[in-house]
Chain A
Amino acid sequence: MISITELLTADFFIFALVAGLSLSIVAGPLGSFIVWRRMSYFGDTLAHSALLGIAIGLITGGNPQLSIVISCLLLGALLVYLDKNPSVSTDTLLGILAHSTLAVGVVLLALTDSIRVDLEAYLFGALLTINSTDLIWVVVIVAVVAAVLYRYWNDFLSATVHAELAVIEGVNVERCNLFLVLLIALTIAVSMKIVGVLLITSLLIIPPAAARKFSESPEKMALLASMVGALSIILGLFSAFYFDTPAGPTIVVFAALFFLATYIFPSVQKN
């Protein structure tokens, strides 16, 4: 069996670790916003429809990473538009879009038999097969998302806490809502290789849910969530390698264990 030192000098493992840890930096704060704004179903829909983006990217023969990013951004913008001009309830709309886009994506991928596609890798991630190009995409996108989050943190928070007060205090709440969705879309786009479209929402919302009980401020909750996410990724990666389990689901299992553990430990919140 390969030793930990050998594993930590292996390119594929380092790539996987760096990609996962980069993702957890933005997943903590973004996931917190998803929890606070009750957008987890929204995130799920976005993630499911990302598969359609992959299919379109493969068919048109464009750069796969770029086509995933662009299609996720377009779908995010479309969701914001549909949400603002509802013909059915948001809940129903998301339910229709989440599954129909996933279905269309799978069907399209099956039709393009000229291209060999590992569907499972997109659905559940293939973190241990990540290459240097994938890693660069993850790091660049994470840097962009982190920069925007940092720049607009107070506005995003104000718009989330009380939208009307934020509007009156001069915050462009509509722009904040759009930006947040686009940031989530970007994060989902680069997470696909890491945990896959079916599991990405869980990596976004489980760590903040575990962190909630131990936080007195939104900033602390976001930071703790990032730490829980990072720990899940580290533990998940090692376990996946040594027990030969799929990396994405293993990471999510660890995140879920952290969440369960918060029920066992007493709350530190004073109020």
Chain B
Amino acid sequence: MDGSLESNPKLLIAAQGINKALNSRNILQGIDLEIEEGQIVTLIGPNGAGKTTLVRILLGLIAADTGAVHKRPNLRIGYMPQRVQLESTLPITVHRFLRLANPPSNKEIEASLSQLNITHLAQQQVISISGGELQRVLLARALLRKPHLLILDEPAQGVDIAGQAELYELISEIRHENKCSVLMISHDLHLVMSSTDEVVCLNHHVCCHGKPDQVSTDPAFLELFGANVSTNLAVYTHHHNHEHDIAGEVKSSDS
């Protein structure tokens, strides 16, 4: 990937040459990533591949060791974190939780609740709602930012299978209705394939990227993911030009 915010006016965010080590283990090596207006980019890769670390760097929550993240000026990002666990001693309704963002008007909150079909949850305690409902509440809070870019870290985690397809459909609708780009980490490739513009396969470095059908044209691929919806290990059958050793370092590269 080359180009920068100057040469490509459609770019929202561009990461260049990101390296990050945590506890002296290389988590990310030479990552380049670009997201354009209206694009849905899906980040896949095995557990521990550095997906969440990369997202946290893009969000500015942690700093990269080397490399740079360029953002379009005044870029608003909505973020839906993974595995939110709220303090049980803190009583807070869904409505009040959403009001923490910014804070938005009641009208905006109601619009966002109804877009996500969770109007009935408004006066419920956040700690008492189900995992799938919580994901929608978090999505609502991210949308209240009126984001140009929505970053979702495993949005369907803890959601049942029927709910997962619905949630991804919702995300796809949001992209059009709210006119925002989406970067998401997902293991449910069979569900996100149809709406994803670009798949980035990450395992400490970018193994490959491209349109979903380029990344995987193998029919066994879809079948594999279809048969393994519950697993959170992404398995893909495209051909790598290198191998990883047990620590995830690249053993050989002949490209």
Chains A and B bind each other: yes
A: which residues have CB within 8 A of B?
35-38, 154, 157-158, 160-162, 164-169, 208-209, 212, 215-218, 220-221, 269, 271
B40: min CB distance to chain A, Å: 20
A8: min CB distance to chain B, Å: 36
Asked whether B89 is an interface residue with its Cβ less than 8 Å from the other chain, the reply is yes
Asked whether B77 is an interface residue with its Cβ less than 8 Å from the other chain, the reply is yes
Q: Which residue of B lies closest to A167 (CB)?
A: B61
By a CB distance below 8 angstroms, the chain A residues around B125 are 216, 269, 271
The complex places the Cα of A104 from the Cα of B101 at a distance, in Å, of 45
Contact flag A168-B90 (CB < 8 Å), given A161-B97, A216-B125, A271-B128? no
By a CB distance below 8 angstroms, the chain A residues around B96 are 217-218
- Candidates B79, B91, B128; contact of A165 at CB < 8 Å: B79
A-B contact pairs, 24 of them (CB 8 A): A35-B89, A36-B87, A38-B87, A154-B103, A157-B100, A158-B101, A161-B90, A161-B97, A162-B84, A165-B79, A165-B81, A167-B60, A167-B61, A168-B60, A168-B145, A169-B100, A169-B101, A169-B102, A215-B91, A216-B125, A217-B96, A220-B91, A269-B125, A271-B128
By a CB distance below 8 angstroms, the chain B residues around A154 are 100, 103
B243: min CB distance to chain A, Å: 35
The complex places the Cα of A220 from the Cα of B93 at a distance, in Å, of 12
Of listed A38, A154, A162, A167, residue having the most chain B CB within 10 A: A162
- Candidates B61, B93, B141; contact of A217 at CB < 8 Å: B93
Contact flag A161-B92 (CB < 8 Å), given A169-B145, A216-B125? yes
Asked whether B162 is an interface residue with its Cβ less than 8 Å from the other chain, the reply is no
By a CB distance below 8 angstroms, the chain B residues around A216 are 91, 93, 125
Contact A218–B91 (Cβ < 8 Å): yes
> How large, as a class, is the contact surface on chain B?
20 to 34
By a CB distance below 8 angstroms, the chain A residues around B97 are 161
Contact flag A158-B100 (CB < 8 Å), given A168-B59, A216-B125? yes
Q: Which residue of B lies closest to A209 (CB)?
A: B89
Contact A168–B89 (Cβ < 8 Å): no
Closest 7 CB pairs of A and B: A271-B128, A158-B100, A271-B125, A36-B90, A215-B91, A168-B79, A35-B89
The complex places the Cα of A38 from the Cα of B86 at a distance, in Å, of 12
Of listed A36, A221, A269, residue having the most chain B CB within 10 A: A36
Contact B124–A271 (Cβ < 8 Å): yes
Of listed A212, A215, A216, A269, residue having the most chain B CB within 10 A: A216
Q: Which residue of B lies closest to A36 (CB)?
A: B90
A159: min CB distance to chain B, Å: 9
Contact A164–B61 (Cβ < 8 Å): yes
CB within 8 Å of A: which B41-97 residues: 59-61, 77, 79, 81, 84, 86-87, 89-93, 96-97
Contact B81–A162 (Cβ < 8 Å): yes
Contact B100–A168 (Cβ < 8 Å): no
Contact A36–B93 (Cβ < 8 Å): no
A99: min CB distance to chain B, Å: 26
B33: min CB distance to chain A, Å: 18
The complex places the Cα of A164 from the Cα of B145 at a distance, in Å, of 14
By a CB distance below 8 angstroms, the chain A residues around B124 are 271
By a CB distance below 8 angstroms, the chain A residues around B91 are 212, 215-218, 220-221, 269
The complex places the Cα of A249 from the Cα of B13 at a distance, in Å, of 59
The complex places the Cα of A168 from the Cα of B125 at a distance, in Å, of 23
Contact flag A218-B145 (CB < 8 Å), given A161-B86, A271-B128? no
- Candidates B61, B89, B145; contact of A36 at CB < 8 Å: B89
Of listed B79, B90, B101, B141, residue having the most chain A CB within 10 A: B90
B89: min CB distance to chain A, Å: 5
Q: Which residue of A lies closest to B87 (CB)?
A: A36
A36: min CB distance to chain B, Å: 4
A173: min CB distance to chain B, Å: 10
B54: min CB distance to chain A, Å: 15
The complex places the Cα of A209 from the Cα of B102 at a distance, in Å, of 29
Q: Which residue of A lies closest to B77 (CB)?
A: A168
The complex places the Cα of A157 from the Cα of B86 at a distance, in Å, of 12
Contact A217–B92 (Cβ < 8 Å): yes
By a CB distance below 8 angstroms, the chain B residues around A169 are 100-102, 145
Of listed B84, B96, B100, B124, residue having the most chain A CB within 10 A: B100
The complex places the Cα of A271 from the Cα of B86 at a distance, in Å, of 16
